């Protein structure tokens, strides 16, 4: 029997195989780590961009809201200015109308005076022609003297200074009495002594603030229907006009005498305004 030899053939791996596998493993692990790190950074970047985008959107929305508020305020201010312009325009038209009316009334007053004199002359001649007794002549003379007195008073009225609105300005008590006889306005005289002492005169409360005797000027504050007006360095005999609610004809205050810490004058109230106030009071009741 022949010997049979079994020969085993072993194939041995090269020596570099294992290190190569390890290197490849490390490279793979490094790649995974790099990929995970890049993914994390990408997520962080996306979150940061998203947060910044939201912040930018909120800022834009706030700016838009603020811009809308400013636009609304500007529109409201524009509307208020247009309203004020209409009010001023309306008052200017009223003032121009009052000035025209005052001039027409002055012209009518002159015409009325001429007509009155003509009527008197006709009446005198008529009475003298029909009545020949001395007593009748005396009566006529008395009437003539009376009418002359009224005519002289009217002429003195026409010599008074007039304001820009056509109202007559009284410079003393006698001239105030002459204006009272015209019957168009009520006149309330006043004297204020001492500073910062409120005094009610008609529809206005007056407080004396200061006096400049050399220049015949004064400073005062006026309160009309809870509205305060400061009047500084106003001249004597210079009318100050003011309106009250529901009226279209101005009232006026005139200071015609200035002394040491004292002023005197009057408040002029149109009788038409008093009628309007009376009607308003009755309708309110």
pLDDT in tens, 187-219: 999 999 999 999 999 889 999 999 999 999 999
pLDDT for the residue 124:
58
pLDDT for the residue 7:
47
Mean pLDDT throughout 85-103?
68
Please measure the distance between the N-terminal and C-terminal CA atoms of the chain and give it in whole angstroms.
155
Q: Domain extents for the chain?
A: 84-162, 170-284
pLDDT for the residue 161:
64
Say whether pTM exceeds 0.85: no
CA distance 224 to 251: 11
Of residues 94 and 80, the one with the higher pLDDT is 80
pLDDT band at 134 (very low <50, low <70, confident <90, very high): low
CB 182 within 8 A of CB 194: no
pLDDT for the residue 58:
81
Query: Helix %, strand %, coil % for the chain, to 5?
Result: 60, 20, 20
pLDDT for the residue 144:
54
Report the candidate in 112, 100, 99 with the shortest Cα–Cα distance to residue 155: 112
Mean pLDDT throughout 21-46?
77
Q: What is the DSSP string of 138-152?
A: HHHHHHHHHHHHHHH
């Amino acid at each position: 029997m022949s010997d049979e030899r079994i020969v085993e053939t072993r194939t041995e791996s090269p020596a570099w195989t294992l290190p190569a596998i390890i290197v490849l493993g490390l490279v793979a692990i490094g790649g995974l780590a790099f990929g995970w790190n890049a993914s994390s950074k990408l997520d962080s970047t996306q979150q940061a961009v998203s947060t910044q985008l939201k912040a930018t959107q909120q800022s834009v929305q706030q700016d838009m809201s603020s811009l809308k508020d400013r636009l609304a305020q500007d529109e409201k201010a524009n509307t208020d200015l247009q309203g004020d312009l209409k009010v001023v325009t309306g008052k200017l038209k009223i003032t121009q109308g009052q000035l025209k009316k005052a001039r027409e009334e002055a012209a009518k007053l002159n015409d009325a005076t001429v007509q009155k004199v003509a009527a008197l002359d006709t009446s005198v001649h008529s009475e003298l022609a029909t009545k020949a007794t001395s007593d009748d002549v005396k009566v006529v003379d008395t009437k003539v003297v009376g009418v002359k007195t009224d005519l002289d008073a009217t002429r003195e009225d026409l010599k008074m200074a007039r304001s820009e609105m056509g109202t007559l300005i009284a410079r003393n008590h006698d001239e105030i009495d002459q204006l009272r006889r015209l019957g168009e306005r009520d006149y309330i005289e006043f004297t204020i002594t001492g500073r910062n002492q409120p005094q009610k005169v008609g529809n206005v409360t007056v407080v004396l603030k200061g006096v400049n005797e050399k220049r015949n000027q004064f400073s005062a504050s006026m309160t009309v229907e809870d509205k305060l007006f400061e009047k500084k360095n106003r001249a004597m005999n210079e009318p100050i006009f003011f309106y009250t609610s529901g009226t279209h004809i101005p009232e006026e205050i005139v200071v015609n005498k200035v002394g040491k810490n004292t002023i005197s004058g009057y408040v002029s109230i149109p009788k038409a305004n008093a009628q309007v106030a009376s009607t308003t009071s009755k309708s309110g009741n």
